[in-house]
Each structure stands twice: as structure tokens, then as C-alpha cells.
Structure 1
């Protein structure tokens, strides 16, 4: 499949010299790779994306091939490479004037950074995308992109637990979608309704929550990740209401979608609710089975995030982490060196004091020896002097003195 698509690209490039037609063929191959090939043969889709990048004739085509690679890696769960390709596309877009592509890549990066837990960096790209959406002259496109970005901002606020802000963002997204008249794109609006259902469920307003879940369900016909989240939300409401029969029905529907989905977030949410269901009805054996499934999904998300931070040399965030590690090593080395210097100073001062005390003792000993020899000399000299005087001379001197 990839070889045939690549041959088709070369044929169109050589036979049809019109740039607009070449761009259309390039777009068609990108779209077909995303929709068809990625689901049937993911490795072949990666090869096609690489080939498209090598044969790209313009900056726009290179950007599209980078975005395609990013989305494929995100679909496979490799967020390290997905963000790497998205950042490369963002750098290339910054060098040209393409507002629509800038908005698209900002929303893509915002979603990817949110999924790996870098919320503030995610918000940075949301804000940048919203600012760029104001530059679009087409009224419909401007409102559509604003709606999608406000939707992403709501997810950001939900991750932080700011539910009131999230409701405002979702309402802003629905207002923008209404202005853009995209009622035929039901999946986009269904995501907003599903998000509102999740928010009001967190706020324990189950009646309003179910109302929004029903609105979202009515817009979706086939099984999708969003529909799985809707069934999981309805099952969660029935658990709170202790309606075990309907809770089981909705959770089984959600599980069927989760088992065939690549979304770890969906699996984690569904397995958690099913575990609670079996715990509530007293089936500890099945509860333990779904507890294991939940832990596996949770661990997979944790490992994915850790791999992004520890094994991504191309990412600036990882560089910051590495620099932080180097700074810690430097600080430890400085501390060790400082302690060593202090130890040497104490050692030399102690040694110097010992030498001084030893020197003083030597000096005192010598002084004592010198003083003792002097006394002996004086004593001996006195003895010599008195030995030369006779008894008669002493008596004469005494009488003269008298």
C-alpha cells in the first residue's frame, strides 16, 4: 500500500505541473494514510509519512507530513515522538505566514502536552492558538477554531479541578460552534456535551449530568471513544443511584468500546467504575480482576509519562530536566568540596596547635635547663669567693663594721 501511494504521488508530480493539483494529491494521501492505513497497518503508515516528508516540495507539504507523523505516533501511544514531530512542525510554521496551520498545530500540541501532564505548557499553546484565530478573516473558520480551542481550554481546567471555569469555556465553545453553523459536525458538539456531563457528575448534579450525556449520545451513531465515555458516565450515575441493573448495562457497553480502543484514559475510567460495581454487589473475585486491569491501565499512563521525561533528548522539557540533574550533581560536588576544605582547615589548625604546644614545652624545658645551670654557676662562684676568705678576715670585717 505505501509503495503504491508513493508511486501515485510521483506520477501526479511529473504528469501534472499545476501546484494546486500536486497539493491536493498530497493532501489526499495524508488523509488516506490517517483514516485508512493507520487503522489497518500502522508500520506502513509510518513509512508513508516518512516518504511524504522526503518528497515534499514546499514548506506546507513538509508541515503536513510532520503533523501526519505526529498524529500517527500519538495514535500509537508514543507521545515522546508525537510531541517531537509537533514541535518540529511548529518551528517550521513559525518561519512562514500560515495562520490556519499555526492554529491546528497549537491545538495539537496543547492536547499532547495535557495528556502527558504538562498543563501549563498546554495552556500556553491554547492561548497562542486563540490569539491566532482572531487573525482569520473567514468568519466561519474563525469561530470554528475558537470553539475547538475553548473546548481544549475546558479540558485543561477540568484537569486542574476548576469546574466553574471549565463550564464557561464549554459554553463559549458551543456559542462559537453555533456561530460557525457546524451542526452537521455532530461529533465536535458531542464532545462538548460529554464534557459538560463529566463536569456536572463531578459536582454531584446527576440530573443535569445525565441530560448532557443524553444530548451527546443522540449526536453519535457509531462506537467511538467519546461514546465510551458517555456510557461510562451514565453507568457511574446509576452506581450512585444504586441501580445495579442499568449500571451493569451501561458499563458493559463502555467496556466493549474500551477494549477495542487505544485510549488508556477511557480504559482506566471504565475499569474503575466496573471495579466499583462488583465491589458494591459483593462480587470480590470479579472486583479484583478489574482492579488488576485498572492498575495496568494506570501503570501504562505513568510509564508513558515517565518515558516522555526520561527518554526524549530532542525535547526542550527533557533538556531542562537533564540540566536540573546536572545542577544537582554540581551542587553536591560543591558541597563535598566545601566540607573537604573545612575539614582540611580544621586538621591543619589542630596540627598547628599541637606543634605550638610542643614548641612551647620545648622552650620551657630549655629555659628551665638554662636557669638551672645559671643557678649552679652562681652557687659555685659564690663558693669559690668564700673559700678564699679566712676566718680572721671575716672577724676583722665584722669588728670594723661595729
Structure 2
């Protein structure tokens, strides 16, 4: 081999190594900001994510930083900005033609739209994400993302009351997770079992429901939000069975996790079941206390969603009438999309300015 060719190969290897290191550093910065900084100082984490977007050179890096910003705003309860960042990530990934990250962005958007009650728009992104996930060349990543999207479709089916369809999609997700070997496999599989427990609880099949909750419990680490939902489900079964001693045991475990969690969904579910428990044993004073806690969690979710949709308090009061409710809902959706379009135009102009500078 000639000296010139050897030098060329060394330069190529060095360049690839540096490029890989830069990518690793960028991904590590995103992960560090998401998992550590956000819990210590959310405003600082948001600024860091914005800085990552500005220094990103590749479209995929910009997509990752936008998704990070979206998750951080979601974490802080600002769903309007969260969805705006996700929509911009979706716009960019369409230009990059990356199937894996297209599927991941669609998964994020589907979850966010579902949580604000725009179920059909959520379903649109699930279907698009599932299509992209099946075109991912990496077998592990394809099944992981498809499994998560099948989980999301199960959530959608539960929200609209199609429990049989929900079971089918959860089973699809478990087949996906059964084909892969990853660090997140236990956690994602446990979420599917917990969801099956919820579905069968809704169907009043408590024996099957408990069986799936137990499968989830075996896979989960102490303190996780999903484990809180599992204990809450087990406590709910005991309340239905009027087994007050065991109900108290499981609901206390669920409450310990809920009280240290930021999940309003978990708090709302747990406080509802504890209220039912105290109503069942005739302790009206404690039942009232947890009714207040439940209402606070419920109101926090409503305030967050109203902030997203642009509803005013006056509109919320008018919504009591069925005919007026439809008008208000349509108006809220119009306001929502006008706001989103404005924010999306702003960010796209900012992207162009960044590329030109």
C-alpha cells in the first residue's frame, strides 16, 4: 500500500471518528438535558435545548433538539408550545426522509394530541408513524417504535371506548417487544401489561385484570409511574371486591408514588380510588379530603388543556349547554390551530434565518 493511500485512509478514519464523536456528544447533551437538568432547573434545560438547536448542523440534530424542547415544555405543562415544537420537528423530518425519526416524531405528536382530547388528529399521526416504523431497516428499532405506536393506538381505542380493539393493539405491541432485546424492553412491556389490566378492569373482569397487573409489577422498578398505576389498579379491584384491608395496602403504595410524581393522570386516578375506598368504609371526612385532592388534580389538567386550546373561563361556563358546547369546541379548535400556525410560521422563519447566517 502506498504512503499516499495510507495517509488518505488514516484521514478518512479520523474524520469518521470525529463525526461519530460529535454525534455522540450531541445525543449525550440531549439526554443529559432531558433526564437530569430538566428536573433540577427546567428554564435552564429549555435554554440548553434552544442552544442545541442553534448549534445543530444536520437536519436530524435539529429534529432531536426540537423534540427535546417539546418534551421539556410538555414537562412544564405548556402544551401549546410543546405541540408547536413537535410540529416543527415533523416538518423538518419530512425533508430529511428518516423513517425512524419520522415514526418517533409521530409518536410524540399522537400522545400530545391525545392528551388534549384531539383524538382523530392523534390517530392520524399514529397511522403515519406505524407506516414509517415498518420501513425502518434496523430490526430492533423497527419493532421498538412499532410497539410504542401500537401502545398509543391502544390508548386511542380506550379513549373512544373500543376496548376490544384496544386489547388487539396491546397484543400487537407485546409481539413487537418480544422480538427485541433492549434496556427499555421490561419497562415498555410492563406498560402494555398495565394497560391490559386497565382494559379488563373496565370490562369488569377482575381476575384477568389482576393477572396482567401482576405481570407488569414483576417487570417494574420501585417508584416508577407505571408501578403507581399498577398498585392503583390492584387497589381499585379490592375496592370493587370490598376487600378493604388489601385495598388500603395497595392504595397507600399508589399514593406514595403519586405524591412524588409530576403525573397529574396518576394523581387523579389514585385520589379517585382512595375517595371510593373511604366512601366504602364510611369515613366521610377522609373521603371529602381526597375528593378535594381529586378535584385539584382534575382542575390542573383542565387548566393545562384550556391554556392549550385557548378557552376562556367564560367559554368553559357556557359549555354546560349541549348546543353551546359544540360551538365552543369548534371555536376552541379554530383558535388552537390559528395559534399553532402562527407559532409554526415564526419558528420556520427562525430556521431560515439560522440557515442563512
Report the TM-score, using the length of structure 1 for normalisation. Answer: 0.73
In structure 2, distance between residues paired with 1:242 and 1:198: 19
Please state how far the C-alpha of 1:182 moved relative to its aligned partner. 4.6
| Structure index of larger Rg | 1
Q: 1:310·1:318 contact (CA, 8 Å) conserved in 2?
A: no
Any idea what the Cα deviations from partners look like across 1:193-236, whole Å, max 9, x if unmatched? 00000000011110000000000000012211101100000000
Please state how far the C-alpha of 1:167 moved relative to its aligned partner. 0.4
Distance 1:129 1:217, change over 3 A: same
Please state how far the C-alpha of 1:181 moved relative to its aligned partner. 4.0
**Paired residue secondary structure (2:96):** coil
Higher relative contact order (CA 8 A, sep 6+): 2
Larger CA deviation: 39-48 vs 169-178: 39-48
In structure 2, distance between residues paired with 1:139 and 1:107: 18
Distance 1:218 1:300, change over 3 A: same
Larger CA deviation: 131-140 vs 199-208: 131-140
Give the alignment of 1:190-229 within 5 angstroms.
Answer: 190-229=190-229
Aligned to 2:318: none
- Tell whether 2:139 aligns with 1:128: no
Distance 1:194 1:17, change over 3 A: closer
Please state how far the C-alpha of 1:274 moved relative to its aligned partner. 0.6
- Tell whether 2:315 aligns with 1:302: no
Please state how far the C-alpha of 1:272 moved relative to its aligned partner. 0.5
Give the one of 334, 338, 342 matched to 1:321: 334
Aligned to 1:277: 277
Q: 1:111·1:122 contact (CA, 8 Å) conserved in 2?
A: yes
- Tell whether 2:116 aligns with 1:116: yes
Please state how far the C-alpha of 1:147 moved relative to its aligned partner. 1.1
Give the alignment of 1:1-400 within 5 angstroms.
Answer: 18-182=18-182, 185-310=185-310, 321-322=334-335
Distance 1:113 1:320, change over 3 A: closer
In structure 1, distance between residues paired with 2:98 and 2:183: 27
In structure 2, distance between residues paired with 1:323 and 1:39: 29
Q: 2:177·2:185 contact (CA, 8 Å) conserved in 1?
A: no
Distance 1:126 1:285, change over 3 A: same
Distance 1:19 1:198, change over 3 A: same
In structure 2, distance between residues paired with 1:51 and 1:318: 36
**Paired residue secondary structure (1:180):** coil
- Structure 1 runs not aligned, ≥5 long: 1-14, 312-316, 326-402
Please state how far the C-alpha of 1:143 moved relative to its aligned partner. 1.7
Please state how far the C-alpha of 1:267 moved relative to its aligned partner. 0.7
Any idea what the Cα deviations from partners look like across 1:308-357, whole Å, max 9, x if unmatched? 1117xxxxx989514999xxxxxxxxxxxxxxxxxxxxxxxxxxxxxxxx
Q: How many residues align?
A: 307
Distance 1:183 1:82, change over 3 A: closer
Q: 2:310·2:336 contact (CA, 8 Å) conserved in 1?
A: no
Q: 1:76·1:262 contact (CA, 8 Å) conserved in 2?
A: no
TM-align CA RMSD: 2.2
In structure 1, distance between residues paired with 2:182 and 2:335: 45
Any idea what the Cα deviations from partners look like across 1:15-36, whole Å, max 9, x if unmatched? 9993222111111110111111
Distance 1:135 1:223, change over 3 A: same
Distance 1:84 1:63, change over 3 A: same
Larger CA deviation: 175-184 vs 264-273: 175-184
Any idea what the Cα deviations from partners look like across 1:157-203, whole Å, max 9, x if unmatched? 01111100000000111111112345862000000000000000011
Any idea what the Cα deviations from partners look like across 1:248-290, whole Å, max 9, x if unmatched? 1111111111111111111111000111111111111111111
